[in-house]
């Protein structure tokens, strides 16, 4: 059964969707695509892994297919901005697969790659440009790109694009764009202040929300282990050893901590790699490819990967360190249970991080089930946000706390399953 043809897309796109195995639109696609095809500005909110890229990409391509003529030199017809290199590449890859043999051109500009090569590509003009804000501004400063012809603007992971790390870049880029234009903002989370800020870029937008902001996908099984910080290394290895062949994404808080953790896992015989801001783009691309192919089964990452990896086979997300921003927890665990699959999100929480856990549970309006240990009393927990550990050194003890766990289950459970713009 093929249901995309009910949305009013061009026949070329319906054919491409069928070849790619997409038969039925997801809720966010079903609601957003007809509105976007009608030219409305869109504020779209949906869980990670629910098809937001196609929700904006399909109407974007449809609009461009209806217009004849090649783009003028240095010009851009549609601009997609995303916060990380990985997400830019992922978006471009998804859209390129739908464009097939059409006349449309798509390109990417990100930091960490040859700017001269990007200048050469842009000199011929492009229909769709997917970019990180920092590198795009570099190209604007060099006069390498003309954004006055942009008729469509998309902000993916809009909450982060409107945050302090990128808002200054956005305020410089937006006035250079063509008007009138269609603007679409998509994200899994949207704090109130960010939504208010978004109004400056939207014109009478249609709000499309298919799940409450901050809600994780239904097929993600969540749990938390309470333990001392110096015991995290042992607990992590216990979980990893329970299912060594599963694709597992491990999140740390700092670049140095992630690298140290990865090296300690490799030294202990685990098949691990890492990605973070200190890695070159080539190193990051190779690590993700190896993880996607299953050559590497464990990927240790900072939040650079929280929004930039779409690998359906990821069975586990393990928070070795809880994120300091609760929204990032939602994005992190959204790397599993993608495309209708099941997955498991496991958090290791030290006393110093109990406050961070509370913020996450408040955002998600849930109590995350306890797999082992017991939640420290308020007097035991230090002030939230204290930076700790990240190295994953192996503690001598293997105790998991005293107290009866609130929910039982062996490791792995039933699934078997700074944001500086220049850093992008």
Of 291-300, 372-381, 388-397, which has the strongest mean pLDDT? Answer: 291-300
Residue 133, token pair as written in the block = 């804000």
Q: Name the percent of the chain lying above pLDDT 70.
A: 86
Q: What is the pLDDT of residue 309?
A: 77
Higher pLDDT, 384 or 291: 291
Q: What are φ and ψ of residue 278, in 5° steps?
A: -85, -5
Determine the average pLDDT of the residues in 40-61: 90
d(Cα 305, Cα 311) in Å, to the nearest integer?
11
Is the pLDDT reported for residue 92 higher than 70?
Answer: yes
Going from the C-alpha of 116 to that of each of 109, 120, 176, 232, 260, the distances in angstroms are 11, 6, 22, 45, 34
Give mean pLDDT, residues 219-238.
96
Fold match between 4-209 and 220-423?
A: yes
Tell me which of 407 and 228 has the higher pLDDT. Answer: 228
The count of C-alpha atoms lying within 13 angstroms of the C-alpha of 368, restricted to the half-sphere facing its C-beta, is 32
| CATH superfamily ID and name for 220-423 | P-loop containing nucleotide triphosphate hydrolases (3.40.50.300)
- Beta carbons of 11 and 176 less than 8 angstroms apart: no
- How many CB atoms sit inside 10 A of residue 175's CB? 8
CA 399 to chain centre: 34
Residue 389 vs residue 310, higher pLDDT: 310
Within a 10 A sphere around the Cβ of 390, how many other Cβ atoms? 21
Q: What is the pLDDT of residues 269-304, one digit of tens each?
A: 999 999 998 998 889 889 999 999 999 999 999 988
Better-scored residue on pLDDT, 212 or 291: 291
Determine the average pLDDT of the residues in 17-21: 89
Beta bridge partners of 45: 187, 209
Give just the sign of the alpha carbon dihedral 187, 188, 194, 197. Answer: positive
129-143, 225-239, 306-320: least confident range: 306-320
DSSP 8-state secondary structure symbol assigned to residue 146: B
Per-residue pLDDT for 420 more than 70?
A: no
Mean predicted lDDT score pLDDT of the chain? 86
Confidence of residue 371 (pLDDT cuts 50, 70, 90): very high
Q: How far apart are CA 398 and CA 403, in angstroms?
A: 15
DSSP 159: H
- Specify whether the CB–CB gap between 297 and 246 falls below 8 A: yes
Take residue 134 and report the two structure tokens written for it: 């920092």
| pLDDT at position 40 | 97
Continuous H helices in 268-408? 281-293, 326-333, 354-364
At 221 the three-state DSSP class reads strand
Peptide bond preceding 180: is omega within 30 degrees of 0, i.e. cis?
yes
Whether the Cβ atoms of residue 279 and residue 290 lie closer than 8 Å to each other: no
CATH 3.40.50.2300 applies to domain 4-209? no
H helix runs in 100-225, sequence order: 115-122, 133-141, 158-161, 164-173, 192-198
pLDDT at 49 over 80: no
What is the pTM for the complete model shown? Answer: 0.72
**Torsion angle defined by CA atoms of residues 242, 246, 247 and 253, in that order, rounded to the nearest 10 degrees:** -10
* Band (213; pLDDT cuts 50, 70, 90): low
Tokens of 62: 């449809």
Residue 418 — pLDDT band, cuts 50, 70, 90? very low
Collapsed DSSP state (helix, strand, coil) of residue 334: coil
Domain boundaries of the chain, sorted by first residue: 4-209, 220-423
Reported as type and span, the H/E element at residue 143 is none
In this prediction, residue 411 carries a pLDDT of 42
| Tokens representing residue 61 in the block | 């391509």
Between 393 and 361, where is the model more confident? 361
CA dist list (Å): 319 to 296, 344, 365, 374: 18, 11, 19, 17
């Amino acid at each position: 059964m093929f249901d995309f043809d009910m949305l009013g897309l061009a026949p070329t796109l319906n054919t491409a969707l069928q070849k790619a195995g997409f038969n039925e639109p997801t809720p966010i696609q079903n609601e957003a695509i007809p509105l976007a095809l009608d030219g409305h500005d869109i504020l779209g909110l949906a869980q990670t892994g629910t098809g937001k890229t196609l929700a904006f990409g399909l109407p974007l391509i449809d609009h461009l297919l209806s217009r004849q003529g090649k783009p003028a030199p240095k010009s851009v017809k549609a601009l997609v901005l995303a916060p990380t290199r990985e997400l830019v590449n992922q978006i471009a890859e998804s859209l390129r697969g739908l464009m097939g043999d059409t006349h449309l051109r798509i390109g990417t500009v990100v930091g960490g790659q040859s700017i001269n090569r990007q200048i050469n590509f842009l000199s011929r003009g492009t229909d769709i440009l997917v970019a990180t804000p920092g590198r795009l501004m570099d190209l604007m400063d060099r006069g390498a790109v003309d954004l006055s012809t942009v008729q469509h603007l998309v902000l993916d992971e809009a909450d982060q694009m409107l945050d302090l790390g990128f808002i200054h870049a956005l305020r410089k880029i937006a006035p250079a764009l063509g008007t009138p234009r269609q603007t679409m903002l998509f994200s899994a989370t949207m704090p109130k202040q960010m939504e208010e800020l978004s109004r400056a870029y939207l014109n009478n937008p249609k709000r499309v929300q298919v799940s409450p902001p901050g809600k994780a996908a239904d097929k993600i099984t969540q749990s938390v282990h309470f333990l001392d910080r110096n015991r995290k290394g042992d607990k992590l290895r216990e979980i990893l050893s329970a299912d060594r062949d599963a694709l597992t994404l491990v999140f740390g808080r700092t670049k140095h901590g992630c690298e140290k953790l990865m090296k300690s896992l490799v030294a202990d015989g685990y098949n691990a790699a890492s990605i973070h801001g200190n890695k070159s783009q080539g190193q990051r691309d190779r690590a993700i490819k190896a993880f996607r192919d299953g050559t590497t089964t464990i990927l240790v990452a900072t939040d650079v990967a929280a929004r930039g990896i779409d690998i359906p086979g990821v069975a586990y997300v393990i928070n070795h360190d809880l994120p300091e921003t609760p929204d990032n927890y939602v994005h992190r665990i959204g790397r599993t249970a993608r495309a209708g699959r099941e997955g498991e999100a496991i958090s290791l929480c030290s006393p110093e991080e109990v406050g961070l856990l509370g913020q996450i549970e408040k955002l998600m309006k849930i109590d995350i089930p306890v797999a082992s240990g017991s939640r420290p009393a308020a007097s035991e927990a230090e002030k939230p946000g204290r930076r700790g550990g990240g190295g994953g050194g192996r503690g001598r003890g293997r105790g998991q706390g005293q107290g009866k766990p609130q929910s039982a289950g062996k490791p792995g459970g039933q699934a078997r399953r700074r944001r500086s713009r220049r850093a992008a």
